Amino acid sequence: MATTGLQLLGFVLGVIAWSGMIATCMSPEWRQNSVGGTALDEHKRFDGLWTQCEQMPNGNTNCESYNVFFIGLPEVLQTCRALMITAIGLGFLGILLSVLGMKCTSVGASNHKAKARTALLGGLLLGVAAACTGASVSYYAHKVVQEYFNPVLPYNTPLYLRFEYGSALFIGWISLIMGVLSSVIMSAASLMVLSKIAKGEILQNGYLKKHLGYKQLEGLRTQNKLTHAVQEYV
């Protein structure tokens, strides 16, 4: 039961992390211009991986997609798009494999070792997806800081021409944490199952349960060496 609970917890965290990856990728707020006290500084601009948005002081917002899809984009956008698409794809595979490998699902229930290995692979893929997400938002954040403190720009550059972190970066970092936790929990639970199988506590055709000083074996047959009597456990 403990491993089942851990697998469920890891799965839920993985789904939350994957949802965060999608939200991060699609968000137009990877960076936003700094807001000051002048009328121009109150002119808000948001840039994402796919669109650029401008919000007027009256509240109206206009968004436009980039003119090109991949080739011709700035290097930072190409890299972050590739990482986020990879993260979402690997996250989906990780969730799918986790579902197939969890003990509470009936798919392949007779082969506990295969299910545990499938869940382990799913957990590892979720970890790789989280790492791709973390790398993407961290690299973008580095570029934002680098541009903000660009020595080429005059010291008194208006704030509306400088950019700072957008909300998407924080969602991405939260997804990174959730994804890593999901990966660790799912992998640990799967390794516990594999360890129990290796020790004989979990058998391919049933579980070895320990109760009050005796063992109940499901799906096994034993033979008494003296009387040659056969005992079948069902």
Q: Which of the four pLDDT bands, split at 50, 70 and 90, describes residue 113?
A: confident
Spell out the alpha helix ranges (H) of 65-111: 75-101
Using the predicted structure, report yes or no on whether residue 69 has a pLDDT greater than 50.
yes
Angle between helices 112-148 and 167-199 (to 10 degrees): 160
Q: pLDDT tens digits, residue range 147-199? A: 877 766 655 555 556 788 999 999 999 999 999 999 999 999 999 888 887 77
Among 168, 181, 111, CA closest to 141: 168
> For residues 18-33, b (16+ Cβ closer than 10 Å) or e, as one string?
bebbbebbebbbbbbb
For residue 216, pLDDT over 50 is answered with no
DSSP 127: H
Could you tell me the residue ranges of all domains in the chain? 2-202, 204-234
Q: What angle do CA 80, 47, 44 make, to 5 degrees?
A: 160
Q: Domain 2-202 has what CATH class?
A: mainly alpha
For the residues 38-64, what does the mean pLDDT come to?
A: 78
Query: pLDDT band at residue 201, thresholds of 50, 70 and 90?
Result: low
Residue 107 has a pLDDT of 72
Pairing of strands 31-33, 163-165: antiparallel
Instruction: Give the pLDDT of residue 99.
Output: 92
Which positions ≥6 away from 186 have C-beta within 8 Å? 6, 7, 10, 11, 14, 98, 119, 120, 122, 123, 126
Residues 105, 108: Cα–Cα separation, whole Å: 8
Is residue 211 very low, low, confident or very high in pLDDT (cuts 50, 70, 90)?
very low
Name the residue type at position 75: E
pLDDT value of position 213: 39
Q: What is the pTM of this model?
A: 0.77
Range of weakest confidence among 19-33, 201-215, 218-232: 201-215
DSSP string, 172-190: HHHHHHHHHHHHHHHHHHH
Report which of 6, 15, 5, 2 is spatially closest to residue 188, judged by C-alpha positions: 6
Is the confidence at residue 205, as pLDDT, over 70? no
> Each residue of 45-56: pLDDT tens digit?
889 999 988 887
pLDDT at 136 over 80: yes
Whole-angstrom distance, CA of residue 234 vs CA of residue 221: 9
Q: CB under 8 Å to 197, separation ≥6 — which residues? A: 112, 113, 116, 203, 204
